[in-house]
Each structure stands twice: as structure tokens, then as C-alpha cells.
Amino acid sequence: MDIVVYGAGSLGSLLGGALATTHDVTLVGRADHVAAVERDGLRVERAFDGDAGAFAPALDRTTAPRATTDGRELAADLALVTVKAFDTDTAAADLATGEFDAVCSLQNGMGNEERLAAACSAPVLAGTTTYGARRTDPGKVACTGVGDVVLGPAEGGESAVADRVGEAFRAAGFATTVASDMPRRLWEKLAVNAGINAVTALARVENGALLDGPANDLARAAARETARTARAWDISLSARAAVDAVESVADATAANVSSMAQDRRAGRRTEVDAINGYVVDRADEHRREGSTTPADEYELDVATNRTLTRLLRAWERGEGLR
């Protein structure tokens, strides 16, 4: 398969480097990384202990994907989007100038698929992944943990395009599920991100700190609010499932620093608008359009997500990032 990876940061480089073992891959990234890949190839290194399973052949090797800083007027079977959520509109505009059989978002947050679909004529798939990645130097990326890839039509249901993309990931060693219930899976991932990312970014702690103590209380509250908001929009996600997902990921990645915590440490803009901010926006939208009885307002209370969002936005504004 011919694949464009739009957004060759940490995750995009890991995905692109592994996919390049069995597919023709073009990375779209920043100039220093692109120059290093063009000169020396892309090095994918192991940075974890334990069994890598079918993904092992992709590790500790150098692949030779094509690389460019210009994502316009490209053509491929698949465009894989891995940019930060606040760059989705730029990605969509660039990809709209090209020709693709499918576009698949493997981004954090919600709302990315709708923005891609509004610009691109190709079918848009939604996806999630729990593979860990850290770009260590230009031309180098470390895999910090093996997980899975889940993808399917953004609106739910089945499609031959999704099946084909799933097979492409499996051929490169990724544990991959093609799912027909992506709306629910996206909201569950949103609950995980809402519970882990903002809390670890503000508290400046690793993911494992959320397993007990006051940080655990905040993470659980953010996840429960996300689940309540999902149910208001007819997505079946229980509070128990949302909290369990947060604690399962926090336990499995206890020594990891979340992407939002990494962004804050580095003084970069975060994806809070597409994560905790999205929960707040959808809850507020439901109040405006739906019932406004006191009971409904209590059910859709998103005070924790609202506070986390305001604090991170205030930090970003103070740093001149928004």
C-alpha cells in the first residue's frame, strides 16, 4: 500500500517507520526531521522491556521512507493523519489538494474526523492507538510501549476500505482491530485522555501518580463527566467503563509522561481544546439544544473538565501560546 503519514512527530514517525517495512511510505514533517530521514533513513528504536510480539521486526532497524515538508498535491492509497488536533484544519486543507482512497485520523481528541471529512472527498476513518512513541532526535524515534491500533468508519459500521487499511497495519506487525463501533471507542479514548492528560500536565507527574491519592480523584471525575456527556449524545459509555479505562491505561503506562505533560514541560501548546474542552463544549451544546431541567443540568455537570480546561488555557495564554 502507498501511504502518506501527515505529521511525522513521535507517533507519526513510529507508525511511518514501521509501515515502511512493508509499504511505500511518505512522511510529511518538519524540516530538520525530513532532512535527517532523507540523508540517513528513519531509525526506530526499542525503549521498553518485555515482549514486542509481532511488532518486533519493526524495532531496532532503519527504514527508508520518503520525506517532505510539503503535504500538498500528494497521492496515495491512504493518508494517515497524526498531527496535533489544533493543526487538523491545516492538514485537511493540504490533503484536499491531493488524491487518496482513504484518510484515517490517529489523533488525540475529538472533532478531527469531521473537519477532515469536510475538506477531503475520500472516506474518513477514525482510529485510536496505544503504541507509545518518543522522537529522540531528527531521524530517530523510540517505541516506548507496544499496544494496539483500532480503526473503522468514523460514523460506525463496516467498510471494505477499513478492512484494507487494517490489513496494511497488520502486515507491518501492528496488533490491529477493525471496529464497527468507533463512535463509542472514540468517546472512551476521550475519557482516558480527559482523565490522564490534563491532570498529569497540571500536576507535573507521571501517569502512575493517577492510580491513587488526590490525582486519582480528579482523573476519575473527569472520566465520569466524559461518560455522562457521551450518554447525553446517545453514545453508550458507562462511568464504570470510563474510569476502568483510565486506570488501566495509567497502570500500563505508569512510568510514562503523557503527551500533554510533555507539551507543558516543553512550553508547547496543548490539545486541551480537543480533549477536556471538547467535553465542556458538547455538554454546553446539549444544554442549549436539549432539556434544561435542573436534573438534566446536574447530570451534565462537567465542572472538573471545565476547571482543567480553564487552567491549561490560562497557562497557555500566559506563555503566549494562544
For the annotated catalytic residues, the residue numbers are: 189
Domains of the chain (ranges; CATH) run: 2-180 (3.40.50.720), 183-318 (1.10.1040.10)
Distances (CA, A) of 313 to 61, 72, 239: 40, 31, 26
Can you tell me the mean pLDDT for 155-176? 97
pLDDT of res. 293: 47
What's the pLDDT score for residue 300? 80
Q: Identify the residue whose cell numbers are 453514545.
A: 235
**pLDDT tops 70 at residue 72:** yes
Distance from C-alpha of 64 to C-alpha of 62, rounded to nearest angstrom: 7
What's the whole-number average pLDDT of the chain? 95
- Each residue's pLDDT tens digit, 205-262: 999 999 998 999 999 999 999 999 999 999 999 999 999 999 999 998 898 899 999 9
| Of 174, 66, 186, residue with least CA distance to 124 | 186
- 3-class state of residue 275 by DSSP: coil
Q: For residue 289, what pLDDT band results from cuts at 50, 70 and 90?
A: confident
- Kindly state the helix (H) or strand (E) to which residue 313 belongs, with its residue range: helix 303-318
The CA distance from 90 to 252, in Å, is 33
Buried-state track 138-150, b at ≥16 Cβ within 10 A, e below 16: bbbbbbbbbbebb
pLDDT above 80: residue 294: no
Confidence of residue 319 (pLDDT cuts 50, 70, 90): very high
Mean pLDDT of 95-103: 98
pLDDT exceeds 70 at position 291 = no
Three-class DSSP category at 124: strand
